[in-house]
A and B are shown apart, each in its own frame.
Chain A
Amino acid sequence: MATEVAISAASDRVARRLPRLGWVAVVCAAFILLLVAVAIFAPWIAPHDPNQVDILAAHEGPSAQHLLGTDSLGRDLLSRLIYGARLSLIGPALIVVIATVVGTFLAILSAWMGGWVDGLTSRVLDILFAFPGLIFAILAVALFGPGLMAPVIALSIAYLPYDARVLRSVALRERSLPYIEACYIEGLPTRRITLGHLLPNILPFVLVQATLSFGYALVDLAAISYLGLGVAPPTPEWGLMVANGQSSIISGYPQESLFAGFMIVATVVAFNLLGDRLATHFSVRGQ
């Protein structure tokens, strides 16, 4: 029967969808998952205590004992990178979660209500746009003292308008589609239309937006740590390690800054590439 052919052809089309993201996206996703696993299982993976000082072993090159060598205090660099993944990833993750959750909420609210509600939120977001994220974060640190939370909250607020504005336009487009109008005509409660129909259909775009923001958030947080305004030493954190290793570069020991910098770059690139591929994938599907 013709109908059966249609159904089976389409379901195998769906099954082949994920691998069609392309190998770049798959590699990036694998790298990110690996990083997360490393961060979670740091105590079991790290060969040394990241804070164990051994002045005699300072600035050692790579060896069997220290795979990536040691820093100026003789701490094992590999272990510090592994433990550093924890704070370096959790900060941006918090920012992204707060910014996208609130952003998605505002986007749906604006798109659904329209009128003055939309006008008001859009203007408030415009005002937030005026604050550069980094300066906002530095201001927050100046007010509340250094640590992880002050810059995280400041950057969440700074990232909010970007997420909200992009998602608002997606939600507006989706809202105007006949299936949402059909729900409205049927008499479904507003909560059910927005959360049960609108939200699931903009979720792919939320995911893309979150992935792309993650990279920027990581760079911004690392910059704040580098400036000494984020978490305090000796806590292992990549941005902090770049700053810490800087003084040793002149003495001919660039490895600490180099390795930490590499981790920052690699992670950001992985997130951006993945986000980019997801965006392409979903926009192609949308047509």
Chain B
Amino acid sequence: MTTLLHIRGLHVELLIDGALRPVIHDTTLSLDEGEALGLVGESGAGKSITVWAIMRLLPPGATVTGEILFDGAEVLDFDREALRRFQASDAAMIFQDPTTHINPVRTIGDFLTEALVTNNGMPAGEAEQLVVGILEDVGIGDAARRLKQYPHELSGGLLQRVMIAAALAIKPRLLLADEPTTSLDVTTQAEVMAILDEQRRQRGLGMVFVTHDLELAAAVCDRIAVMYAGFVVEDRPADSLHERARHPYTAGLLASRPSPTERARRLSAVPGRPLAAFEVEEGCPFASRCPFVEERCEAEKPQLRELDGGRVRCHRAEELRGQLTSRSKERRMADRDQSGVTALAEATLPAGRPGGDEAVRVEGLTKVFGGRRRAGGTTVVKEVSFAVSPGGALAIVGESGSGKTTTARMIIGLERPTAGRIFVGGRERTFGRVGSGERRRLGREMQIVFQDPYSSLDPRQRVRECLDEMLRLHFRLDPEERAARILELLAQVGLDERHADVYPRALSGGQQQRVAIARALASQPKVLILDEAVASLDVSVQAQVLNLLADIREQTGVTYLFISHDLAVVRQVSDDVVVMRRGKIVERGPTDNVLDHPEHAYTKALLSAVPRRGWRPVRSRLLDSMSADLAPVSREEEVARAKEAAAEAAEPPSGSHPG
């Protein structure tokens, strides 16, 4: 095989807060013709920057040293014309968010043919023919009609396929995909990845695939390079990654991610938070979080060196060989042990049985947005009923538009149900103008933790002030008692006094989420709603917070209502699960039962779409039709589908709802 791309000693500095700071240190990577390389890492690892550097898309003021050789030619030395040729026909980029990279006022056809016509001088008719063919390759059947549509008429998954088609249309030799499926639902992700993978192989393209999801990368790439704080710390063939991870960080990443197929007693979380490249000082970048750290690691920077068929940047890689694998084996043993126990315990704990002593019970909950009169409006939640017993943990799982978040918002009182009843601690919840006294009473019953930790904290309030305010609101305590309670709360979420007197922006995302949890716990609620509370966290931090949630539940006996799209996370935290699709519950039961033996086709589809060890993205007919179902493509189609659904006698129409 010939080398397509060779990066040697790449060092990048960017202007951050007015100063040039390193974002990539000494990175050496190579990619053969037709090979796929996964660049994996958490936030701040420098994986996207590497791709931007290859494409010469770094912001002005960036300094780049080292070599980027494409087919033997130095990309960094390209003049305007050579760079234009490189960007227009040799390398193509696929971005994370298709909606911001496709001009909203031009049609899909314009978008796809523009580069061909202006750059390659192709006649418009020929370009259109070519594009129709490629759209069919990426699974967009009615191509001729799609070309006339505008971006807003297409769903996110379809748009991402259009973006892939645009990348393929210029017949590049190198594909650069920067988190192409991160903003998509898991089933859509599997679709898009299957298409990308298949097309790349058929065309023999080299690909650099940037993602935070190690399992996803392992499934579609030949080789994986793990990045941490601007360094490549390990580089190894994807198929031997699990057995032969030689860097403690790689092993940590693999162990941090919960599995959808088995429940771990505790996730083996990497402590601390991912460092940014410019925070790295002397020694090994990972030293501050490494469980195997020794003196040498803090003094001397390890070099990337060959080991066991890959490359690794660790002083102790040889000695740790046995220990890294045995640790994960140990974990697996423990898991098996644990899942047996929980399955037994849950057999005696039926979900949703009516009774007076439930922590939360909803009956026939329905929400219609818009359309005050009889007709119109979108039914987002339709006759949903379930119950959670005190101390239980119920997960509501579903993709975007399934109505799971709206359900949670109705229970907590942020949305008013169109129909149905909600009982909290045996008392029916009222809606409309709720006075602050009643809100305060409910606040002691039930609290919520939101997805985005930063915006759920007042940026102008120090952590201590925030907790103090809630304590003053709910309890009669004197200042010393409150101060002591604040420290208690912080300790409960794994923080301490040092974190009390700072503003939220001085904390990392994981720490902010811990503060949000502490605030929710301040009133000692009986029920805690977690609305995608770990979805925006880095994998290693997510594992810490999941462990923390398990601890809190054990200590306080609080009831969890866990809203999530992530089946692996759901498996980890919940006893019972409710699967929602388009506003309706399609399946329910004890979590292990449902996830081990799913009955509804949708649950099966969801489960099979989660990347895990040995997984491959597959295009399924079922998913194809379902994802099309979930994403209305045009107004008339939507109307047609509604009529069709109405014809199904018992089933009145229920539209889908974005977000």
Contacts and interface: CB of A to CB of B under 8 A. Distances in A.
Contacts of B523: 186
B456 interface: yes
Interface string B424-460: 0000000000001111111110111011100111111
B17 A182 contact: no
B473 A186 contact: yes
Contacts, number: 107
A21 B444 CA distance: 44
B10 interface: no
B639 interface: no
Contact of A11 (B436, B450, B469, B502): B502
A2 B273 contact: yes
Interface string A151-193: 0000000000000000000000000011101111111111000
A5 B279 contact: yes
A52 B451 CA distance: 70
Given A179-B455, A185-B443, A189-B436, A2 B289 contact: yes
Contact of A178 (B288, B450, B470, B505): B450
Overall SS of chain A's interface? helix
B372 interface: no
B507 A6 contact: yes
A16 B18 contact: yes
A186 B18 contact: no
B217 to A, nearest CB: 25
A7 interface: yes
Interface centre among B458, B470, B502, B508 (most CB of A within 10 A): B458
B485 to A, nearest CB: 15
B442 A10 contact: no
A178 B469 contact: no
Contact of A9 (B279, B442, B456): B279
B436 A185 contact: no
Contact of B498 (A4, A197, A200): A4
A177 B455 contact: yes
B283 interface: no
B17 A16 contact: yes
Contacts of A20: 18
B628 interface: no
A201 interface: yes
A20 to B, nearest CB: 6
Contact of A187 (B440, B452, B507): B440
B591 interface: no
B473 A11 contact: no
Nearest to B288: A2
Interface in A235-254: none
B502 A7 contact: yes
Nearest to B281: A5
Contacts of B474: 186-187
A6 B43 CA distance: 14
B413 A185 contact: yes
B288 to A, nearest CB: 5
A143 interface: no
Nearest to A181: B414
A214 B94 CA distance: 47
Contacts of B507: 6-7, 10
A201 B457 CA distance: 12
B370 to A, nearest CB: 16
B257 interface: no
A197 B458 contact: yes
A188 B414 CA distance: 14
A188 B469 contact: yes
Contacts of A201: 458-460
A3 interface: yes
Q: Which of B441, B460, B470 has the most CB of A within 10 A?
A: B460
B553 interface: no
A179 B499 contact: no
A95 B143 CA distance: 60
Given A3-B498, A185-B413, A200-B460, A178 B506 contact: no
A26 B450 CA distance: 39
A183 B455 CA distance: 12
B506 A10 contact: yes
Contact of B439 (A179, A187, A197): A187
Contacts of B413: 185
A197 B459 CA distance: 9
A163 to B, nearest CB: 21
A184 B455 contact: no
Contact of A3 (B444, B446, B511, B516): B511
A10 to B, nearest CB: 4
A181 B437 CA distance: 16
B630 interface: no
A158 to B, nearest CB: 32
Interface in A20-48: 20
A56 interface: no
Given A4-B498, A178-B450, A187 B456 contact: no
A1 interface: yes
B275 interface: yes
Nearest to B441: A187
A178 B446 CA distance: 16
Contacts of B452: 178
Nearest to A1: B288
Given A2-B288, A6-B508, 6 more contacts: A2-B289, A6-B511, A7-B507, A14-B506, A179-B455, A201-B460
16 contacts: A3-B498, A3-B499, A3-B511, A7-B507, A10-B507, A14-B503, A16-B18, A178-B450, A178-B452, A185-B412, A185-B442, A185-B448, A186-B447, A187-B436, A188-B469, A197-B461
Interface of A: 1-7, 9-11, 13-14, 16, 20, 177-179, 181-190, 197, 200-201
Task: List 3 tightest A-B contacts by C-beta distance, closest first.
Answer: A187-B440, A10-B506, A178-B456
Interface of B: 17-18, 272-273, 275, 279, 288-289, 412-414, 436-444, 446-448, 450-452, 455-461, 469-470, 473-474, 498-499, 502-503, 505-508, 511, 516, 519-520, 522-523
